[in-house]
Amino acid sequence: MPITHLLISWYHESCRPLPWRMTTNPYLIWISEVILQQTRVDQGNPYYQRFAERFPTVTALASASEADVLLQWQGLGYYSRARNLHKAARTIVDKYDCQLPGSSAELIKLSGIGPYTASAVASIAFKEPSPAIDGNVMRVMARYYSADSKVNSPELKKLCTIAIRVMMQNHHPGDVNQALMELGALICRPAAPMCTVCPIQQGCSSFSTGSQSKFPVPAQKAKPRNRYFVYLVLTGIEREAPYIVLRKRAKGDIWQGLHDFPLIETKETPTDSAITDSLLWKSLLPTVRPSLLHATYLKHQLTHQTLHCWFIRQSTENLSTGLNEQEYLKIPFDRLHHFPFPRLIQRYFELRRTMDNDDAPI
DNA sequence: TTCCTGAAAG
DNA sequence: CTTTCAGGAA
């Protein structure tokens, strides 16, 4: 029995009944692929369900505001995926007559669709024989061929492309792509692969020499840089309603389009005097003396940055001057759930709720 | 190179 | 408990 047959038979018997496998709707297949980029199935699944319900068509997605889309995406990370999804939906409505383009060559022109997603969608939705090569697939192939090229290298991608094209000659391209990804997720896992139940064990070079753990050869990883954030958590009461001051994050840095608090960033571990010296503190609270010792500290790890964050609570009664209302938003507590926040800020809110363990959400 | 998070590993 | 890891596009 040829290896590809064994793989595809295994896939048809053992594939998980995931919601996006229950549809032939190219739009929903696209959504699921974007959500699953850099995201595990268990984490992405509930997001897919809610997203598909809230935005059932390209038109629905294109009609929504970016903030609405980000709100649905809140907590998933890599928020550019949500912004790009929204942008691409508008392109599809404006330039493609509300229909998802039917080839990988056209799909790849859309925001947020790269070689992997273009091939995945085109192969699954349109039967195009285009290999979809992600980290899972590269791991499977590197082990199968004991390939020395590093993960993500052009060499390894080329090897994958050629081998998978051959597999697609006698099988549904979407099944071949999904079978390889499913094998990588369920059997040929990063650690402790389950070679004893692997459908393509008999052809696997690494298995034959017991060298599974040597492949794929890892790429070198960059070291994260440290950043130091001092957040001012300003609360007050206006017209009997408690509010908190938020700031929408701008372009050119992390979390763009999401919300956090007025921020003092320092180059090194902040000191109380560094805070009083900052422009923001001098303009808002020149008579108040900050204490980092009494601030809430949270550490937050991103791919390329380690954030060290202190949260200083102040009542806005102490404010010397008015806030710039263009930049800073006074938001009543009961409207906070309309705003998308990064996980760090959600964690801060959760922490406050636990510490106060009473009525106030802040 | 840069973007984020939750699960896994230590 | 803290740190590392997995996962594509621009």
- pLDDT tens sequence across A285-342: 999 999 999 999 999 999 999 999 999 999 988 787 778 888 899 999 999 999 999 9
Q: What is the pLDDT of residues A90-104, one digit of tens each?
A: 999 999 999 999 999
Output phi, psi for A241, to 5 deg: -110, 130
pTM of the full structure: 0.93
Could you tell me if residue A277 is inside a domain?
yes
Question: Last residue of some domain: A214, A239, A259?
Answer: A214
Which nucleotide in the DNA or RNA is closest to residue A299, CA to C1'?
Answer: C2
Domain with A280, as residue range(s), is 225-356
Tokens 């090897």 belong to residue: A159
Looking at the fold, whether A162 and A55 belong to one and the same domain comes out as yes
Same domain, A175 and A265: no
Number of domains into which chain A is organized: 2
C-alpha–C-alpha distance, residues A274 and A255, integer Å? 25
List all nucleotides in chain C with at least one atom under 7 A from a protein Cβ.
3-10
Query: Roughly how many angstroms between the first and final C-alpha of chain A, as a whole number?
Result: 63
Give the residue whose CA sits closest to C2 at C1'.
A299
Distance A249 CA to B1 C1' (A): 21
- Shared domain for A236 and A192, answered yes or no, is no
The domain boundary, picked from A193, A214, A235, lies at A214
- The residue among A81, A120, A82, A83 whose CA lies nearest residue A100 is A120
Same domain flag for A229 and A208: no
| A95 shares its domain with A209 | yes
Q: Which nucleotide is nearest to A304 (CA to C1')?
A: B2
List active site positions of A. 33
Residues A175 and A302 in one domain: no
Tell me if A361 is assigned to some domain: no
Residues A123 and A254 in one domain: no
- Report yes or no on A219 lying in a domain: no
| Measured distance CA(A72)–CA(A70) in Å, rounded | 5
In this structure, is residue A156 part of a structural domain? yes
Query: Tens digit of pLDDT per residue, chain A (362 long)?
Result: 899 999 999 999 999 989 889 999 999 999 999 999 999 999 999 999 999 999 999 999 999 999 999 999 999 999 999 999 999 999 999 999 999 999 999 999 999 999 999 999 999 999 999 999 999 999 999 999 999 999 999 999 999 999 999 999 999 999 999 999 999 999 999 999 999 999 999 999 999 999 999 999 988 888 899 999 999 999 999 999 999 999 999 999 999 999 999 999 999 999 999 999 999 999 999 999 999 999 999 999 999 999 999 999 999 887 877 788 888 999 999 999 999 999 999 999 999 988 876 544 44
Looking at A166, A184, A214, the residue that finishes a domain is A214
Query: What whole-number distance in Å separates Cα of residue A361 and Cα of residue A131?
Result: 49
Task: Work out the angle at residue A115's Cα, subtended by the Cα atoms of residues A249 and A176, and round it to the nearest 5 degrees.
Answer: 125
